[in-house]
Structures are given as structure tokens and as C-alpha cells.
Chain A
């Protein structure tokens, strides 16, 4: 099972994401943003970091990178895509996920272990969890406040598009405590917290994050 991890200039967590893929039992495939070739991967992870230095808006320039055109095309055909932190920002900027991420309401960079509730356990990236299950993974962002218009938020809640929600405190002022959302077909998921940093006891607060990476292996087999 080949899971691509795209590196943009300024990506930071691409190595951890590839490691999480490997620990979950997948084969990580390193991809470069300026390429046009997705190298026959079965799914893609967009990692955290500060692509293009967050110039213009976080994720805005990366969303227009050459390889993102392929990602958008394949995602629309059902290829699973996970965006973590900066990767979530890229997916929103690319139009694959609704809403936008803006400056934290308190203006501080927030870095801590965060409790989350899995609201949707039927997406390509969350099927290893139970609906309502709570997990703890790190969160670390300065521009993680999820926003959308009130009407759009109502629509997303009605359609069950909030995949992951903050519990035990909202780290950035995200509307309705939204930590992550999913595409209509459940194949594209983006979240601000970092499951790839919670896959081993030695380095993470838990191993709760591994489920994102084991989920997609099943989703690809089933497809």
C-alpha cells in the first residue's frame, strides 16, 4: 500500500508523517511538490509545517503547486487525502475542503497535548476509531482557528462534515470547536492536530494517532 507524503518548501512534519505510515504498515512514498507525478500512490498525506513561509496566507501558495493539481484531480475521483495542520490549510485553499483557517483568536502559537472527539468514524482516515471515541494527540499552530460563514457551518453540521472536534478546551478559537472536517464522500480529511506525532510511546503523549494511518490502509483495500 503506497501512501505518498508531499514535501513543500517549508514542510516540517513530512518525515514524521512518513514514519507514521510505516509504523501503520504502509509503504511511505516521498513526493516533491514541483513534480507532476503522483508515482502511483494509493493515498496522499499533506504534512504540517510552514509551506512557503506561510506567505500570502497559510497554505495558499502550496495549494497552487504543480503536484496539487494532480492531487485535486485524483481526490475528486476518490483517492484518500489527509491534510494535517498546514496540510489542512492547503486542502481548504485548494477547495477540497470547506472553510478556512485563520489566526488564533488569542494570537499566540499554541503547542500542547489535546483531547479530541472522533465525530465521524466512517471516513477513509478515521474508521479505526469508534464514533464518539476520545483521543489525545499534540496540537501546535498559530493559524488554526477554523472559520466559515454561519450558513456554511449549519450546512456542514447538518451533513455531518465535522470529523473531529476539540474537547477539554479549544486551543485556537475554532468555531464550534471544529478540529477537522471531511469531504462529502469521506475520502478527504483535514485536521489541525497532529496524529503523526502520537504513534509511539517514546515520542508522543499516546499512540492514539496511529489509527488515522491504519484506517486508510483498509480504505484503499476496500476501494
Chain B
């Protein structure tokens, strides 16, 4: 299972802006914005439902004050 964590849109992301600046210097001027986040891959035994995963994500993996989470459960 995968959890992606990104800063909320209203929180400025100076790391993403630094990456954007470097891309511009490399000539990739078509890139107009970069937001940097975190990608967690969780191995689990048995089943974990969406509610469990959301709790894991929102109590530890992300800080809901500044970050949003995207949950990716296995589709099978």
C-alpha cells in the first residue's frame, strides 16, 4: 500500500521552488511549478482497510496541519 504526502496548497514549499529554479537553469523552462512530497510504501500482513490506512497516514505519516495525504490501496 502506498501513501503520498504533499504540503497543502496554501503552505509555501521552498524546496519545490529551489527544484523549479534548477530546472529552469537546465533549460526545462516548460516546467512552471514543483511541489515536493513524500512517498511511503507499506508492507502489511493480512488486510488493512481504508479507514486503518487513513488513520496511519493522518496520525503519523502526515501532519494534517500542513500536509494532505493521498491513499493508494491495492485494487485486487
Contacts and interface: CB of A to CB of B under 8 A. Distances in A.
Interface of A: 56-57, 60, 64, 92-93, 98-100, 102-107, 147-150, 173
Contacts of A103: 14-15
Contacts of A60: 60, 63
A172 B7 CA distance: 18
Contacts of B14: 103-107, 173
A61 to B, nearest CB: 8
Contacts of B52: none
A102 B11 contact: yes
B66 A147 contact: yes
A183 B71 CA distance: 33
A100 B60 contact: no
A64 B18 contact: no
Interface of B: 7, 10-12, 14-15, 18, 60-61, 63, 65-66
18 contacts: A56-B60, A57-B63, A60-B63, A100-B63, A100-B66, A102-B7, A102-B11, A103-B15, A104-B14, A105-B12, A105-B14, A106-B14, A107-B14, A147-B65, A148-B65, A149-B10, A150-B10, A173-B12
B61 A56 contact: yes
A100 B61 CA distance: 15
Given A107-B18, A150-B10, A102 B66 contact: yes
A92 to B, nearest CB: 7
A90 to B, nearest CB: 12
Nearest to A149: B10
A44 to B, nearest CB: 22
Contact of B63 (A64, A93, A104): A93
Nearest to A150: B10
Contacts of B66: 100, 102, 147
Nearest to B62: A57
Given A99-B65, A105-B14, 11 more contacts: A56-B60, A57-B63, A98-B65, A102-B11, A102-B66, A104-B14, A107-B15, A107-B18, A150-B10, A173-B12, A173-B14
A173 B11 CA distance: 12
B12 A100 contact: no
Given A105-B12, A107-B15, A147-B11, A92 B65 contact: yes
A93 B64 CA distance: 10
A56 B61 CA distance: 7
Contacts of B10: 149-150
A149 B15 CA distance: 19
Complex A-B, nearest 8 residue pairs according to Cβ-Cβ distance, in ascending order: A100-B65, A100-B66, A107-B14, A105-B14, A103-B14, A100-B63, A147-B11, A107-B18
